[in-house]
Structure 1
């Protein structure tokens, strides 16, 4: 026989076992962090909207009364968590998050 170099079946199985164990340990931890990442993203969106309300107030002399006014040149996104929560502005110009009713 020729002296062929390559991996044996046992070596390949060991590599697949190691990869499988790593995946079993890592994937559930990533899935658990998804909700935390989504909530942090919503908080960041609220802070961004608050700063844009101030910018709008400086530009126009009054606070915006609707999110639509902010979306016209100040905000590009008004929803977070996959469209489940949306920004809302009070009459005083305070920004908050409201749940979007599922249809």
Structure 2
């Protein structure tokens, strides 16, 4: 009989009660509510940095194209294929990348700022203008 009681007592003491599990879940939820906003803001800032890096790569490809051809291309697709005389590409290893939000980069041979071309991304919202993470990103 002593053995039976001891076995029952050990089985009651092993494991967690429902209250203990709920407390752990609440604590984890509170920690996540503090950590998640910080982590998600890092995702947005890393996408902005990725867009800037991709535009720098595109600028280098555009400058190389201009050195070979004598002028900048009409569109970014000419960095991959072109029938123009002097073309020595492709100037990009793969297809023209989309910006980190899945939109095409905006390219124009004319620029209002006196630059030989303009290259930009409309940011997270995919529309011209905006503030914060929705702000437009321009090549430098």
Q: What is residue 56 of structure 1 aligned with on the other side?
A: 65
Correspondence for 1:40: 49
User: Which deviates more from structure 2 when the two are superposed, residues 68-77 or residues 91-100?
Assistant: 91-100
Greater gyration radius: 2
TM (normalized to structure 2)? Answer: 0.54
Q: Secondary structure in 2 aligned to 1:80?
A: coil
| Count of aligned pairs between the two proteins | 101
1:23-59 deviations in Å (ceiling 9; x for gaps): 111122233334322222211111010112233345x
For 1:3, the equivalent position in structure 2 comes to 10
SS of 2:25's equivalent in the other structure is helix
Query: CA distance change for structure 1 residues 98 and 24 in 2, over 3 Å: closer, same or farther?
Result: closer
Structure 1 residues 77 and 18: alpha-carbon distance in aligned structure 2, compared to 1, 3 A threshold: farther
**1:83 corresponds to 2:94:** no
- Give the drift of 1:98: 5.2
- Cα offset, 1:64, TM superposition: 2.7
**Match 2:26 to one of 17, 20, 31:** 17
Q: Normalising by structure 1, report the TM-score.
A: 0.69
Unaligned runs of 5+ in 1: none
Gaps of 5+ in 2: 1-7, 82-89, 128-140
For 2:28 and 2:35, the matched residues in 1 are separated by: 11
Q: Secondary structure of the residue that 1:77 maps to in structure 2?
A: coil
Change (3 A) 1:98 1:90: farther
Residue 138 of structure 2: aligned partner? none
